[in-house]
Structure 1
């Protein structure tokens, strides 16, 4: 079986949070394969610890993917501040005899260094065209945990676990290896939090993650972090403003200073993403929104909303609002050019990570979250059928069926983009619905 089908069968997806099925990235040839080890979201501590703990496996997984797509060069991007990790990865690349093929490049400590298009430019000086993907400029990007999962897949192990940082206003920030399907409450409970209900929980990083409506959910393959903050924290108050409220505030208070545009990472790469123009459109009753197509260029990094705007408005939320309207009207952005140059001011407008952490009120919580081994013993697990971009998996098991850890429980629909899902424990299937498969763990019932 070739690598593409091995990765497809193992259910490997983008582990950085987006969840794009990795096998789909292996269907084309590219000049470069890039490993995204930036981990630019504040407080999250997964990638650097994985590279410390599993350097050979990550290197081997990346090499296998690179060779398969016939990439002439493999580049690992790590922020320069992670000096020990950089030294270790360079040593292991040399020890594995891959120095002619693979190298580590140091990234600046900026946000969002881990955005795919920013990463491509920082590592190759190429610029991905508007509304396009890295492959358009000869690059394929994978995450460090994705590379680890590729290596595991080659050894015959499907994706049944993920690595998660739990951080924020809590006694013991930690990073865990968590079986897929374990309850979020059980994961958070390992960090010394006495009453979870006292907190709001952000699913993902503090910049791009969203506040969970309730924490009775379950871990998926693309879960990367949970940030716990008191409900009156600035970040929680900002993230829980309703779309209608964001629209009204923007309409009445935006002074068109264009700071949201001038610091936008995609605008600085030469794209036509101009949030201040989208904000301006709020002042008009626009039935036809096709002139606001630039909103579809927004990567939702939240730099405009949480860092740039001097009066704390909601440009990202307004972009999302117009994205929804454009989708309802069937309008899709049409680029008018394919070659781009970074704007001359870019070097002076990059967002330093430390300043970002201060601005969003997380300095007191910007601490290590050491990898901690915990044996999770859930009574039930819930395996989501859509843990990825694309169509939900189709159950391959039935109620009452006994399953083993690593067993396929959901397959990709025919002729669809998707990912297979597997059980993370031995147990018995007790419920199947449109969204998930519930398995009673342990002794068969």
Structure 2
């Protein structure tokens, strides 16, 4: 079986973003493969520790992925502040005799360094076209945990576990490996908090992660971080603002255009101008052609959480316009073929420390060390759709006994998707449209 087939059979997806199936990415032909080790969301600590603790596995998986796409060079992007990790990576690359192929490239400590298109520009100097993807400029991007999983696939080990940072306003900050399908509440309690009545939990990073409606969910292959904050924290209040509330607050917009001037995609040369989308929603403007720029938003949330001096919600305005365009099946297109970053970009990058302070997270920006704590849930609920594409089709039945690592869901015929595997050994006790539940032996 080829490595690409093993990646497909192992159910590998993007481990920290939308969850795009990795076997599809690695079926492309590219000049560069890029490793996204930026982990630019404040307080998350998974990738930097994986590179420190498992450098050989990450490097080998990354290099193997690079060979699959026919890359001439594999560029490993990591923030320059992680000096010890960088030293380890450089030493191991030379020891593994991969120095002619794999190269460590240092990134600025800014947000959003891990945005796929920002990363491509920082590492290669190439600008991905608006509404485009990295392969259009000869690049394929995977993240650190995905590279680790590619290595595991080469050893015939499917994705059954997930690394998660638990951080925020908690007694214990930590990073832990848990079985896919573990109840979220079991992971949250590792923080030292038992009663969450006064707390809210962000699923992911503080900028792009949503506030969870309830804590009854389960870990998926995409779960990256769980940030616990008091419900009265300003970040929680802003992230739970409704569209109607944002629409009213946005009436106070001063049209200073700071949201546009600091927009990462605008600075890459894209025609995305959040202040104009606020204008559209405030005044009911109807020029659809000009509104198409809303489709270029990466939803990094910088405009709302940092840039605006009076605290309105440009991202919400952008999403209002975007939703209207999607409903009408309107897409963005451009006849332009060459793009350049704006000349003032380097002077408008947002330092991570300033962002953390603005978010009110300064006191929580502490280490979350990897632990060897074992989480052994009695029952796991493995989502059939924890990836971009169609839900996995069950290949097990109620009452079946399964072993950890056994295939329990396959990709539907002629569809985009990813396989799923049992994360514990036990008995299948429920199968529905959403998940497959397994009770531990």
For the Cα contact (< 8 Å) 1:8–1:419, is it kept in 2?
A: yes
Residue 303 of structure 2 is matched in structure 1 by 304
Please report the TM-score for the alignment, with normalisation by the length of structure 1: 0.98
Pair 1:382 & 2:381 matched: yes
Residue 126 of structure 1 is matched in structure 2 by 126
Structure 2: give runs of 5+ residues left out of the alignment. Answer: none
For the Cα contact (< 8 Å) 1:384–1:435, is it kept in 2?
A: yes
Structure 1: give runs of 5+ residues left out of the alignment. Answer: none
Pair 1:220 & 2:223 matched: no
The worse-fitting range, judged by mean Cα deviation, of 14-23 and 124-133 is 14-23
**1:394 shift after superposition:** 1.0
For the Cα contact (< 8 Å) 1:32–1:66, is it kept in 2?
A: yes
User: Within 5 Å, which residues of 2 pair with 1:86-97?
Assistant: 86-97=86-97
Moved over 4 A (4+): 286-290
User: Within 5 Å, which residues of 2 pair with 1:219-368?
Assistant: 219-250=219-250, 252-285=251-284, 289-368=288-367
Residue 197 of structure 1 is matched in structure 2 by 197
**1:371 shift after superposition:** 0.3
**Count of residue pairs the alignment pairs up:** 441
For the Cα contact (< 8 Å) 1:170–1:191, is it kept in 2?
A: yes
Residue 420 of structure 2 is matched in structure 1 by 421
Structure 2 counterpart SS, 1:142: strand
Structure 2 counterpart SS, 1:229: strand
Residue 137 of structure 1 is matched in structure 2 by 137
User: Within 5 Å, which residues of 2 pair with 1:39-118?
Assistant: 39-118=39-118
Measured against aligned partners, the alpha-carbon deviations of 1:260-295 in whole angstroms (never above 9, x if no partner) come to: 000000000000011011110012335774541111
**1:27 shift after superposition:** 1.4
For 1:303 and 1:106, the matched residues in 2 are separated by 22
Measured against aligned partners, the alpha-carbon deviations of 1:275-330 in whole angstroms (never above 9, x if no partner) come to: 01111001233577454111110000000010001111111122112211111111
For 1:249 and 1:335, the matched residues in 2 are separated by 33
For the Cα contact (< 8 Å) 2:260–2:273, is it kept in 1?
A: yes
For 1:100 and 1:258, the matched residues in 2 are separated by 45
Please report the TM-score for the alignment, with normalisation by the length of structure 2: 0.98
**1:212 shift after superposition:** 0.2
**1:182 shift after superposition:** 0.3
**1:427 shift after superposition:** 1.0
Measured against aligned partners, the alpha-carbon deviations of 1:212-237 in whole angstroms (never above 9, x if no partner) come to: 00011000001000000000101000
Structure 1 counterpart SS, 2:121: helix
Measured against aligned partners, the alpha-carbon deviations of 1:96-155 in whole angstroms (never above 9, x if no partner) come to: 001111110110000000001000100110110000100000000010100000000110
Change (3 A) 1:246 1:336: farther
For 2:2 and 2:156, the matched residues in 1 are separated by 13
Measured against aligned partners, the alpha-carbon deviations of 1:49-80 in whole angstroms (never above 9, x if no partner) come to: 00011100000001111111110001101100
Structure 2 counterpart SS, 1:97: coil
Structure 2 counterpart SS, 1:270: coil
Measured against aligned partners, the alpha-carbon deviations of 1:379-408 in whole angstroms (never above 9, x if no partner) come to: 211000111111111111111111110011
For 1:6 and 1:377, the matched residues in 2 are separated by 27
Residue 410 of structure 2 is matched in structure 1 by 411
The worse-fitting range, judged by mean Cα deviation, of 16-25 and 199-208 is 16-25
Structure 2 counterpart SS, 1:20: coil
Structure 2 counterpart SS, 1:24: helix
Change (3 A) 1:118 1:401: same
Structure 2 counterpart SS, 1:337: coil
For the Cα contact (< 8 Å) 1:201–1:228, is it kept in 2?
A: yes
Measured against aligned partners, the alpha-carbon deviations of 1:418-439 in whole angstroms (never above 9, x if no partner) come to: 1111110011111111111111
**1:259 shift after superposition:** 0.4
For the Cα contact (< 8 Å) 1:290–1:326, is it kept in 2?
A: no
Residue 30 of structure 2 is matched in structure 1 by 30
For the Cα contact (< 8 Å) 1:289–1:322, is it kept in 2?
A: no
For 1:412 and 1:338, the matched residues in 2 are separated by 36
For 2:286 and 2:78, the matched residues in 1 are separated by 45
For 2:144 and 2:348, the matched residues in 1 are separated by 28
**1:339 shift after superposition:** 1.1
Pair 1:393 & 2:361 matched: no
Structure 1 counterpart SS, 2:190: helix
**1:197 shift after superposition:** 2.3
For 2:335 and 2:263, the matched residues in 1 are separated by 20
RMSD: 1.0
For 1:227 and 1:69, the matched residues in 2 are separated by 35
For 2:110 and 2:287, the matched residues in 1 are separated by 37
**1:336 shift after superposition:** 3.1
Residue 15 of structure 1 is matched in structure 2 by 15
Measured against aligned partners, the alpha-carbon deviations of 1:160-181 in whole angstroms (never above 9, x if no partner) come to: 0110000000001000001100
